[in-house]
Structure 1
Amino acid sequence: MTAKAGNFAPVTKKGAAYGLGIGPGEADLITLKAYKILQEADVIAYPALEDGASLARQIVAPHMPEGRTEIAIRIPMGPPADSIYDAAALEIGEHLRAGRTVAVLCEGDPFFYGSFMYLFGRLAEAGFPVQSIPGVSSMMACAAQLGAPLAAKNDVLQVIPGPLPADRLKSQLADTDAAAIIKLGRHFAKVRQVIDELGLTDRARYIERATLDSQKMVPLGELPTDATAPYFSMILIHRRGDAWK
């Protein structure tokens, strides 16, 4: 059951919740606004692996204030888990009802494929003050690291999720000026084959773990045929090769 307004006790005293866009990985890419809210928050929540660490928590570790209540939201990989977001919204809601400020850490930008949107919907429908603080998205970071502007002039830019079926990927890529293909992971071989079939390999750039110490970037065609890709990887394509041409 989704934790909508009816699942919360009446709101009498309200704190505020903020989804903080903390950037793609490099600690210094957090915005000043997000940093200020982080320092003032009473409670800090963040997504984490079911049985592991939180990348979001690791990104802001140099900036984390001491003595704050922390909430690790254990989220499995795959489709949004309604029960987990329901429970997290209820827990955060209790802090908001007590008048506390809650900062929810979000890798990249909260509203660009970010898990915070599922909390935002639940908290907003329940009548709590909640706001998204924009951050540097992974797509912008990848373009900057690769030295590859995403689009120019009247270019149409598409953001294409790697898990799409091959035929859908092909149709989307066949008629676009520029594309960012995200969520590669176990779908990498399929995506790479589609790009090759369309004759776009020489215009495709690959990058993984952008802005982190483990960052890797290379022209797609230079990767070994049996190469694999992590979830946090991306392929940028422009039909002209470079957007400024």
Structure 2
Amino acid sequence: MGRIICCGLGPGDPDLMSVRADREIRAATQIAYFRKKGRPGQARRIVEGILPRGVCEYPMEYPVTTELAFDSDEYVRLLADFYDEWADRLEQLARGNDVVVLCEGDPFFYGSFMHLYSRLQGRAKVDVVAGIPGMAGCWNVVGQPIALGDDVMTVLMGTLSEDELNRRVNNEDALVIMKTGRNLAKIRRALEAAGRLDDAWLIERGTMPGERVARLKEIEPSDCPYFAIVLVHGRGRRREFCE
């Protein structure tokens, strides 16, 4: 019986992958990775050039991404069936040799693999290789500490309702807002209402080719790709330590 090894790939730059992840990928005979239909997949792009010759590839294509509301019954059903199917397939593939599953960022930080991990418990040996979360790559390219001293860092989803975003961005220290895309206008309004828009950054494709770092207030709400994140840096005890 082989193993299912999920390798966190980090924020996008292959140089930011862990030594262990690099070693597992270079030795792989089978790899699987998530992607949208018709796309090569971000995880697959990161490992381009380091895969061994003859490796068998298994693209795991989502049945739906943004076509349906993520909290709709149909979306939940389609994704549940998708994860059930791939848990079965990975279990079968691992009966011969190890299977390496590629995951952007860290597998246990909003990663799709966690849905397979829970289904595979007791059915196969599963190893998870930690990766640098994408947000860490993004706040490093800005060149400012995300949190200082006694700052509290809050991670929010842009898919939250506007009322919920308004409530949560008020009186917070450091903010990380993921799943921006079509939610960017709503995020801007919430930050502006909280008086925090001037401090907000939009990082597109952080650490990857085509990287863009800009003040959020200078970006058109419609000009936001999928691989983008909003950061608002905390202030902590900056005066006490830095002045």
The normalised TM-score by structure 2 is: 0.89
Q: Which amino acid aligns with 1:107?
A: E
Displacement of 1:222: 2.2
Q: Which amino acid aligns with 1:26?
A: D
Which whole-Å deviations, capped at 9, do the CAs of 1:7-52 have from their partners, x for residues lacking one?
xxxxxxx211111011122122111000111122221000011222
> What 5-or-longer segments of structure 1 have no aligned partner?
1-13
- CA–CA distance in structure 2, aligned partners of residues 17 and 154 of structure 1: 39
SS of residue paired to 2:7: strand
| Pairing 1:194-205 to 2, within 5 Å after superposition | 194-205=190-201
- CA–CA distance in structure 2, aligned partners of residues 202 and 56 of structure 1: 33
- CA–CA distance in structure 2, aligned partners of residues 159 and 31 of structure 1: 24
- CA–CA distance in structure 2, aligned partners of residues 186 and 29 of structure 1: 28
- CA–CA distance in structure 1, aligned partners of residues 106 and 129 of structure 2: 8
Asked if 1:97 corresponds to 2:95, the answer is yes
SS of residue paired to 1:71: strand
Which whole-Å deviations, capped at 9, do the CAs of 1:177-232 have from their partners, x for residues lacking one?
111001100000000111111110111111111111211111122224x5421121
Q: Could you tell me which residue of structure 1 aligns to residue 47 of structure 2?
A: 60
Aligned residues: 229
- CA–CA distance in structure 1, aligned partners of residues 87 and 20 of structure 2: 23
> What 5-or-longer segments of structure 2 have no aligned partner?
71-75
The normalised TM-score by structure 1 is: 0.88
- CA–CA distance in structure 2, aligned partners of residues 154 and 123 of structure 1: 39
SS of residue paired to 2:94: helix
Residues 66 and 242 of structure 1: CA distance in aligned 2, closer, same or farther (over 3 Å): farther
- CA–CA distance in structure 1, aligned partners of residues 211 and 181 of structure 2: 15
Identity %: 35
Q: Could you tell me which residue of structure 2 aligns to residue 71 of structure 1?
A: 58
Q: How much is the aligned-residue C-alpha RMSD, in angstroms?
A: 1.8
Question: Is the Cα–Cα contact under 8 Å of residues 35 and 59 in structure 2 kept in the other structure?
Answer: yes
Q: Could you tell me which residue of structure 2 aligns to residue 110 of structure 1?
A: 107
Q: Could you tell me which residue of structure 1 aligns to residue 130 of structure 2?
A: 134
Q: Which amino acid aligns with 2:235?
A: R
Match of 1:230 among 214, 225, 231: 225
- CA–CA distance in structure 2, aligned partners of residues 39 and 242 of structure 1: 44
Displacement of 1:241: 9.2
Q: Which amino acid aligns with 2:233?
A: H
- CA–CA distance in structure 2, aligned partners of residues 168 and 131 of structure 1: 36
Match of 1:85 among 62, 83, 86: 83
- CA–CA distance in structure 1, aligned partners of residues 237 and 127 of structure 2: 36
Displacement of 1:242: 9.8
Q: Which amino acid aligns with 2:80?
A: D
Match of 1:119 among 111, 116, 121: 116
